[in-house]
Structure 1
Amino acid sequence: MSEQTAQEGTSRGGAGQERRVVVVGAGMAGVQTAVALREQGFTGTVTLIGAEPHQPYDRPPLSKAVLLGTSEGSAFDVDFDSLDIELRLGCEALGVRPADHELDTESGPVPYDVLVLATGAEPVRLPGTEGVPGVHLLRTLDDAERLRPVLARQHDIVVVGAGWIGAEFATAAREAGCAVTVVEAADRPLAGALPAEVAAPMTAWYADSGTDLRTHARVERVEPGGVVLDDGSRLPADAVVVGIGARPATGWLAGSGIELGAHGEVVADDHLRTSAGDVYAVGDCASFPSARYGTRLLVHHWDNALQGPRTVAANILGEHAAVYDPVPYFWSEQFGRFVQYAGHHAAADRMIWRGDPTGPAWSVCWLRDNRLVALLAVGRPRDLAQGRRLIESAHPLNPQSLSNPTLPLKSAVTTT
């Protein structure tokens, strides 16, 4: 029997309902996988293992509500006891032995019949700064708690990286009254996420908020009270916050035989199964093939961690082979603007603006063969909602109608 056939066989039917499912990672993807299993009727044992000691919590509030002290935390509103989900918190996963169906942890081996990898991503550290006092990351509840008093004291702060997390943290720090300088190695914010002409208007948002944005700038070193850039200039800094990206948290899988991709992510198929029998992967730690976009996607956003678990649960129960091919979606609140994105624009052959990008509300549409493949909406939530449905339906659109911001996006649908 092939590995794939064996995997499908052990994931289906009858006595399989009494199997042991172990989920590694107690963030959104892990929690939602455990909940989805119960919601879809799984009656076997479900164990959720998390490295952090805290009750499982949501991460988006960390970059604002927790930082600014308007929330003490963001624990999931899930009654794990009533769902008969066993929590093992403060328990770090150390490795997997697929042939033995065992997960190795700090507390010893944990046997499983089905294993779900949901360990998320971890922030990339600025080289040479590990252990340097005053240098912070923002990924966990403990990170946010360490940064909260920094903002409360209205310190001078240098943020390294003008990506999504850097902009969100800078927004919170300015709201707290801190002097903020953002250092970005590229020539614009969000250089790795958006085309230059789309990201360019966002540069003004920094100045409008009183944030000093330094582009074409790299950190040479961090020293007490300051950051020295590669051009020799020195920026005052009581604290440095690093937001230069994240990578899948999969280092602990070394030697397991589970296939990893070029970015260190777990390589999953369109059912979110890995190369190892009875092992699935979901959320930030996994990539999956998209028939919609004709490429493999690695999506580090909240909605992916929310949607994927339903597919994993359905495939574990084995009642039908559920395929995972979502329209990626995320949002960001920064500098008084609500920014939303749906889709994947890399393969687009045309880009259309809706509205004035120097104004408070505008959108950008990406088309391929006159069909919408992605959309960025700034202050236009209706565009996003309609656009997401249009991406899913793949209806042909009239570009001229699409470019008129006074017309609903859905009015651009054409039958020709």
Structure 2
Amino acid sequence: MTERVVIVGAGMAGVQTAVELRGQGWRGDITLLGDEPHPPYDRPPLSKAVLLGAGDAPVDVRFDVDFGALGVDLRLGSRAQTLHAERRELDTDTGTVRYDHLVLATGAYATELPGTAGLPDVYPLRTLDDAATLRPVLAAGRDLVVVGAGWIGAEFATAARQAGCAVTVVEAADRPLAGVLPASVTAHMRHWYEEAGVDLRTGTAVAAVEPGAVVLADGSRLVAAAVVVGIGARPSTGWLGGSAVALDATGAVLADDRLRATADEVFAVGDCASFPSGRYGERLLVHHWDNAVQGPRTAAANLLGGDEPYDPVPYFWSEQFGRFVQYAGHHVAADTMLLRGDPASPSWAAVWLRDGLLVAVLAVGRPRDMAQARKLLPRTVAVDPALVADPAVPLKSAVR
């Protein structure tokens, strides 16, 4: 009988897995399960083009993939419920599906602000339906409160200001992106909010959300026709509880460095899986588009009998307040940070070193720095700090 690969999750990671399997020679059946009713779509435009699209016609964010021609059985509106790894079956709300090989690509869901379940005018921004719901809210030009000054909060605040809304961003930490970048870098980002006309409130948490208002822990009361919550995401893996697929402390599938899960013939890719990085000496959980593109290439190769390690250099980007921000690498264990250019200017970069080796780069309006960094970082090169700190010197010319 023909062997079947079942892919659970029809986002970028799931779709890319199907494409890679066919491209790498898999000739068996492929079943792709998506729990949303929409054809598979790309997520980055949701916080940009979809929110600000003109007119009534929706922005087309569908993947340019002909699933029929690819020989993929795409089943939409099919939500996984229980995995029976011992007999290689999974139950969905539309029936039981048998597999020979399983790829988990279920992504992540937006973290909910405590105490707001079921409240009207409180919105996440994670799915196409979320963006479609928020689009008329922005078009109305009302007063908005954004909870969370992370990447998604900044991107939504940018779109809301472009739409003419009054925007207040509330962040419990003392600065934007506190859990992502060091204070020496994020201190320079505060004025981005000011320039855009966004009221940034840091160091205070949300105490309550009431009709038409948000109450902060310091007693402040903010007018809010709508509240958008951007406080992170969690792996969509609750349905795997009690199965042979182990989860880590974050709830992510505990994959090995070949992206294999702990159950036989089960792999995991994208936002739902963590993996050990030999490059950085720790387990990584990467919630970014590039990981959803790269991981499926390795998972497909190993499902087909290969033995390829997965140890990427993480990369992501964000468009906010008129700036194109890119980051590559992992700076947690770095011992030196160098600036290239003036952070008060529209174009600058931060570079991290460990023992003289290049480990991470943040580029704001410096795409050439990032293009060179993405070639250098996988090689773990030694660089001259004095040359790195000179923004007039190409980054590649700083290699020793």
TM-score of the two chains, using structure 1 as the length reference:
0.94
Query: Which position in structure 2 is the counterpart of 1:385?
Result: 371
The alignment-based identity, stated in percent, is 67
Match of 1:335 in 2: 321
How many angstroms does 1:233 deviate by? 1.3
- String of CA shifts for 1:219-244, please: whole Å, max 9, x gaps: 11111111111111110000000000
Equivalent residue in structure 2 for 1:188, among 175, 180, 185: 175
TM-superposed CA distance for 1:322, in Å, is: 1.3
2:300 to 310, 313, 327: 313
1:40 matched to which residue of 2? 24
What residue in structure 1 maps to residue 262 of structure 2? 275
Q: Does 1:159 align with 2:146?
A: yes
Question: C-alpha deviations, 1:366-390, integer Å up to 9, x for none?
Answer: 1111111111000001111111211
TM superposition shift of 1:257: 2.3
Q: Distance in 2 between matches of 1:190 and 1:265?
A: 22
State the AA in 2 paired with 1:344: H
Two-structure CA RMSD over aligned residues (Å) = 0.9
Unaligned 5+ segments in structure 1 are: 1-14
Paired position in structure 2 for 1:354: 340
Q: Which amino acid aligns with 1:389?
A: K
What is the distance in 1 between the residues matched to 2:316 and 2:385?
Answer: 24
1:344 matched to 2:342? The reply is: no
Residue 68 (structure 1) aligns with: 52
Q: Distance in 2 between matches of 1:314 and 1:184?
A: 42
In structure 1, distance between residues paired with 2:218 and 2:280: 41
1:200 to 183, 187, 190: 187
Q: CA–CA distance in 1 between the matches of 2:374 and 2:359? A: 9
2:200 alignment partner AA: L
Report how far residue 123 of structure 1 moved.
0.7
Cα distance in 2 for partners of 1:394, 1:237 equals 48
Q: Distance in 2 between matches of 1:176 and 1:278?
A: 48
CA–CA distance in 1 between the matches of 2:179 and 2:110?
A: 15
1:398 aligns with 2:375: no
Contact 1:156 1:236 (8 Å CA) reproduced: yes
Quote the residue 1:257 is aligned against: 244
3-state SS, counterpart of residue 133 of structure 1: coil
1:215 to partner: Cα distance: 0.4
Aligned to 1:50: 34
* CA shift digits 1:325-345 (9 cap, x unpaired): 110000000000000000000
Q: Which amino acid aligns with 2:318?
A: S
**TM-score, structure 2 normalization:** 0.98
2:205 is matched with which residue?
218
Match of 2:14 among 15, 26, 30: 30
